Amino acid sequence: MAVAKAETVIEAEPRTIANRLEEDIALGRILPRERLIEEELALRFGVNRHVIRQALMDLETIGLVTRQKNKGAMVRDLTPEDVINIYAVRELLERKAAELIPLPTPPEVVARLKDIQQRHSQAADAGEFANVFRLNLLFHKTFFAACGNPHLADAIQHFALKAHIARSLTVGDPKLLKRAIEEHAEMVRYLERGDRTNLVRLAVEHIIPSRDAYLETYRRRFGKAASASG
Amino acid sequence: MAVAKAETVIEAEPRTIANRLEEDIALGRILPRERLIEEELALRFGVNRHVIRQALMDLETIGLVTRQKNKGAMVRDLTPEDVINIYAVRELLERKAAELIPLPTPPEVVARLKDIQQRHSQAADAGEFANVFRLNLLFHKTFFAACGNPHLADAIQHFALKAHIARSLTVGDPKLLKRAIEEHAEMVRYLERGDRTNLVRLAVEHIIPSRDAYLETYRRRFGKAASASG
DNA sequence: GTACAGATCATTGTCAACAATAAAGTCGAC
DNA sequence: GTCGACTTTATTGTTGACAATGATCTGTAC
């Protein structure tokens, strides 16, 4: 990874580190199969090795990295089967949540979503990828939290995170990004209008392009068969 | 908790400890709101405090315990809303999995399920509650793993674990246990017959009694309103 | 007798040193 | 030159000691 001096990290909590690493993985700054060495990361973030350790364990339970005893952690390599399966669960959960969101949606929720959407769009225009990542995450979190079932919302969040490895391959695509942002705006409009049918349809369709882009990329890169190797 | 001498634990891995604690929680040996003190547990299991620490963090991410900084961990207290929400997700996931299980089911899967079911039944007759717990878990795990989507199966496992706090209140009820065991046998029969309709129906209905028993118990104990307090 | 301040105790959080393991490199034999 | 055993190095795993925090108890003033 070759990082020289410590980045200043406001908080040294494992959660914060884990989030930063998630971001690095999602943005493709750390690639699948890349090793994550505890001491290196400790140096980079300027924290104790135990904090890193904890963060890596967290990432393991999320499913973003794999760890082998005495061998260390590496970014997980998702096969096309994995991606298809993960997205199948995402579709199931997110459809359900979209069906549960109360219509008309409380105005403060709509207001918050509009605000996030706007900032997301601005970050995209400015090319601030880290912020794009965070605001996209926040939009989805806020949107699905509105379903009223926190446990369902958690599960959705969980699977969105899992999918981030897949998204790393396609995160640079400006066309996909533009489309995603437009669809966010559209979803908010459906909330306001109380259009359940279109809301559910779009919530489900919204995540498909990044899945297909991943599958396409993978196919081109490694051939048709899913030579998993893990 | 009042435990005097160390129980011999074969392996000292955090995962093993976490499983043991899950069991204790599910069987009602540790009650909601009860504090889990690291050093006590370390003594009890005869392992280092760090191992306990890790196990408690794992249980936190599962959702069985809550932890507050510098205050420690306690078994989570599920409100009726929590239980209803958790079971709603379980229904969603388990229905989907039941729809995906290939029919006819591979004979080795059926054979494994029959074996587990039989041992489960025997453990119930013998009053071996710990084994009943484990074999019940194993049955469900094996059953849903057959759906072919490991990520879906994981999520199901995850939510089944979350629900274990709720089950602790009703785990002693022999009628519920008897019914559960009979239904397991029935599910296997449907697999063999290739009866999708009944399979899905039963898979969904199967978990409802323990939910309703919990809600009923909670209502009787604390009154109709869900005075959460947590 | 009640409320506040201080002291004491119980408990968790952090760290740095050491042990254990796996990988890489080196040497010698054939 | 290549295979295998040995040595060295890189990396993770484990432990115990100490620091920090929050809870509890005690005593005193009013």
Closest CB from A85, A96, A151 relative to B152:
A85
Question: What is the spatial distance, in angstroms and rounded to an integer, between the CA atom of B208 and the C1' atom of D4?
Answer: 63
Question: pTM, whole model, 2 decimals?
Answer: 0.90
Closest CB from A58, A85, A151 relative to B149:
A85
Query: Closest-CA residue in chain B for A97?
Result: B89
**Residue pLDDT, tens place only, B93-122:** 999 999 999 999 999 999 999 999 999 999
d(CA B187, CA B199): 6
Contact check, Cβ <8 Å, A89/B159: no
**Residue pLDDT, tens place only, A184-199:** 999 999 999 999 999 9
Question: What is the spatial distance, in angstroms and rounded to an integer, between the CA atom of B22 and the C1' atom of C19?
Answer: 31
pLDDT above 50 (res A229): no
Question: What is the spatial distance, in angstroms and rounded to an integer, between the CA atom of B230 and the C1' atom of C2?
Answer: 29
Q: Tell the residue number behind the tokens 């494994």, with chain if given.
A: B112
Interface test with A, best of B151, B159, B165 (most A CBs within 10 A): B151
Region A167-187: mean pLDDT is 91
Query: What pLDDT band is residue B4 in, cutting at 50, 70 and 90?
Result: very low
Contact check, Cβ <8 Å, A149/B58: no
Residue B203 contacts residue B94 (beta carbons within 8 Å): yes
Q: Chain A residues with CB inside 8 Å of B61's CB?
A: 58, 61
Query: CB contacts < 8 Å between A and B, how many?
Result: 50
Contact check, Cβ <8 Å, A152/B93: no
- DSSP 8-state code for residue B35: E
CA B174 centroid distance within chain? 17
Helix, strand, coil shares of chain A, percent, nearest 5, are 70, 5, 25
**Residue pLDDT, tens place only, A30-82:** 999 999 999 999 999 989 999 999 999 999 999 999 999 999 999 999 999 99
pLDDT above 80 (res A10): no
Q: Which of B99, B173, B110 is nearest to B142 (CA)?
A: B110
